[in-house]
Structure 1
């Protein structure tokens, strides 16, 4: 590996990891004149967390309660998404907003914490059904978040792969010091732990995809039904993504219990989904850290990390790309990155 000194045009940068984060970082570096190579054992594969992700761009979710300083980063990235999506073409970007919904009184109590934090005005069940007629008459209350959006991560990855065409190398990297580059960015998701020693763990998530006639839903739904949290993300072509479990497990086995719980919650909120075809059950692993916030910054001379995004990898892709590209090319870190450096886990 080279010295890793900040360069610019022509600087040779190796990106390890071809998921949505690694590709976004690579594309930003390429646009700014770096000579980029992205290493991924399956550069045309579907093994990453992005393949399972629903693509909700929701900066006001529960993550901010776990790590309050994450909120500013989430908001900053959400603001960058319209331009980021426009630069990639048709990636399923939709800004109709999100409806938070609650079925029972206990569900209202659970969901109201997020609505208050986002300073959203409460809506009655009838007001919700005016916006989304497919909602069950049992839905009691909710709120509308107009600044939340959605995108199709599979389309985003395809578009980023196209940007980086000819620079994707099918290689499993097990030693970053062996790479011939001026700088290395490790963005290998859960695989980052083995390459860097950083505390990143896999968190299993099971997600369903349904398909029916388009138009049953026009907003993303983020809700609770009899104590079961669920989100529903409708696509323009009639697909509805339903998710997701959170399991501290490493296996990739889809389970009947998870499918049952997700479907029950979804049908309780939107009964019309009963006529949809169940087309896919997918299992993936979110890369989680001890505080469930991402790891962004310099690990050591010439080696940088962009990993551990947990539930927010899709949302944080644009801001991660800019922050890491800035740091690699100029040697200077934006202060917004200070709370997310590897050093908070005792890594310099």
Structure 2
């Protein structure tokens, strides 16, 4: 079905939010034959513009998040076929690279922490290999001489989130998804059922089911009954993008992660020559200001890990908002209000969880049943949560 410039006002599914989670939900729903629309003033934007795109189910493992690990691994397993399908559907490159990840330690404390993480990974049935500092530098010669050791994880890959978002936008258009490039102002409810939204320009958009997938803004949609507002908050992250001069070999061949002075750090090299350095994690509400301190800390820590980084041209500094939830896991599926579903709260794993989120949401939208893998992440696991009162900048 070709995209239309004047889409109908009524459909099967209305997705509020056009970031990668909203777009993959819309694409998969349209593939299932559902008349689908997306409301977003700038679809293809959102947190993906800032994300580094690490598909790091293993090296992102955190204590207390074993339930989330299962969902992360399920999505990671789907990524090769998902990326191939999306690329075939659009003819676009996604920057998908099965390059692996190297997590390294710069001092004795970091080395002890990595050793504990390695043991935890092995107890969790994950594959990672302990390397000496010399073995780390053999893999990545530009690492600092002081690297004490590291973990090699070949199963953690990467993708370019900006290319991913652009491809999902094209895929949606080709699948017949209608786009309303405006802001959803208020959820409409008739009786005990959600019926759609009224946009900022006063247009009423009706649908059998409304999916709230607006990232960190998901808790701000007016009209949602107070007890059903998703407890999602914005978590600021700043990143720096550097570029390799033309004709020079890359500094790094795989994603490198470390903890420097207690600060988590990652460096993600792209085939295009871009090197993404991030990311801070700041609980500052809706602030998206790029700060001198944030950029300085990233470059300082990156220089300690890869000294040659200071010779690279600075291409971009940017800050974005991750949608954090109380347990750092997403909210997926139906709410207690008939017709209202959530796909939000993915925090630091939005890019990684894109394939499984699309599959989960398409399944529940077509069958009414939430797949087994998503049942630990239902919106009902949280009680009532008030929306943040501060206005977004």
**TM-score (norm: length of structure 1):** 0.93
For the 8 Å contact 2:11–2:206, the answer to whether it is kept is no
Give the Cα separation in 2 of the matches to 1:25 and 1:67: 24
Aligned to 1:6: none
Give me the whole-angstrom Cα distance separating, in 2, the residues matched to 1:115 and 1:121: 8
Report how far residue 76 of structure 1 moved.
Answer: 0.1
* CA deviation profile, 1:59-83 (whole Å, cap 9, x unmatched): 1244542432101000000001101
- The answer to which structure, 1 or 2, has the higher relative contact order (CA under 8 A, 6+ apart) is 1
Moved more, 152-161 or 293-302: 293-302
Q: Secondary structure at the match of 1:182?
A: strand
| Matched residue count | 337
1:70-101 deviations in Å (ceiling 9; x for gaps):
01000000001101111222100000100011
Q: Is the 8 A contact 1:104 1:226 kept in 2?
A: no
After TM superposition, give the deviation of residue 346 of structure 1 in Å: 2.3
2:230 to 191, 198, 221: 198
For the Cα contact (< 8 Å) 1:55–1:153, is it kept in 2?
A: yes
Where in structure 1 are there 5+ consecutive unaligned residues?
Answer: 1-9
Any unmatched runs of 5+ in structure 2? 1-9, 88-92, 123-127, 189-196, 198-204, 385-393
User: What is the alpha-carbon distance in structure 2 between the residues aligned to residue 167 and residue 214 of structure 1?
Assistant: 43
Tell me how far apart the structure 1 counterparts of residues 108 and 186 of structure 2 sit (CA, whole Å): 53
Aligned residues of 1:106 and 1:227 also touching (Cα < 8 A): no
**TM-score, with normalisation over the residues of structure 2?**
0.82
Residue pairs, 1:55-204, within 5 angstroms: 55-62=53-60, 64-89=62-87, 90-119=93-122, 120-165=128-173, 167-177=178-188, 178=197, 179-195=205-221, 196=224, 197-204=229-236
Question: Counterparts of 1:233-312 in structure 2 under 5 Å?
Answer: 233-250=268-285, 251-299=287-335, 300-312=337-349
Q: Which secondary structure does the structure 1 equivalent of 2:86 belong to?
A: coil
Q: CA deviation at 1:174?
A: 2.1
Q: Which residue of 2 aligns with 1:334?
A: 371
Between the aligned partners of 1:225 and 1:345, the Cα distance in structure 2 is 34
User: How far apart are 1:291 and its partner, in Å?
Assistant: 1.1
Using the TM superposition, give the Cα deviation of residue 11 of structure 1 relative to its aligned residue in structure 2, in angstroms: 6.5
Matched residues in 1 for 2:299 and 2:62: separation? 27
Runs of 4 or more above 3 Å deviation: 61-64
Instruction: Tell me how far apart the structure 1 counterparts of residues 66 and 267 of structure 2 sit (CA, whole Å).
Output: 25
Report the equivalent of 2:391: none
User: Is contact 2:98-2:157 (8 Å) kept?
Assistant: yes
Aligned CA distance change for structure 1 residues 66 and 255 (closer, same or farther; 3 Å) = farther
2:59–2:156: 8 Å Cα contact kept in structure 1? no
Taking the aligned partners of 2:24 and 2:375, their CA distance within structure 1 comes to: 21
CA contact (8 A) 2:132 2:150 kept: yes
Deviates more, 1:282-291 or 1:251-260: 251-260
Q: Distance in 2 between matches of 1:194 and 1:295?
A: 15
Write the distance in 2 (CA, Å) between the matches of 1:137 and 1:267. Answer: 12
User: 1:3 aligns to what?
Assistant: none
Among 211, 226, 234, the alignment partner of 2:261 is: 226
